[in-house]
């Protein structure tokens, strides 16, 4: 991961109210059956770990959408030297 990618992720995480991410409601419930995989986002900041409520993979709560999409972007692999 490049430094700029990490900085972007860090900025997005810092913009969240981390103490509230466990209370964010998922917009869908496909994970309750076999329609969707379950996903969570875990952030550690200043030695404290914050875990989001579980949501359907690909359909995060609106507040986590930008961070989730950034984390899911495919990254170009650098050739080994």
Q: Is the pLDDT of residue 80 over 70?
A: no
**pLDDT bracket for residue 67 (50, 70, 90):** very high
**pLDDT bracket for residue 81 (50, 70, 90):** low
46-66: string of b/e by CB count within 10 Å (b at 16+)? Answer: eeeebebbebbeebbbebbee
List, in sequence order, the alpha helices (H) in 1-81. Answer: 3-14, 65-72
Helix (H, G, I), strand (E, B), or coil: what is residue 57?
Answer: coil
pTM, rounded to two decimals: 0.83
Q: Does the CA dihedral 49-60-13-71 come out positive or negative?
A: positive
Model pLDDT for residues 3-58, shown as the tens digit of each residue? 999 999 999 999 999 999 999 999 999 999 989 999 999 999 999 999 999 999 99
The dihedral region occupied by 57, where left means phi > 0, alpha psi between -120 and 50, and beta the remainder, is: beta
């Amino acid at each position: 991961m490049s430094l700029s990618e990490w900085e972007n992720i860090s900025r997005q995480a810092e913009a969240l109210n981390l103490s509230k991410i466990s209370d964010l409601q998922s917009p869908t419930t496909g994970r309750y059956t076999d329609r969707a995989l379950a996903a969570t986002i875990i952030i550690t900041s200043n030695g404290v770990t914050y875990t989001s409520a579980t949501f359907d993979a690909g359909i995060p709560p609106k507040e986590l959408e930008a961070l989730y999409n950034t984390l899911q972007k495919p990254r170009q692999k650098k050739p080994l030297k």
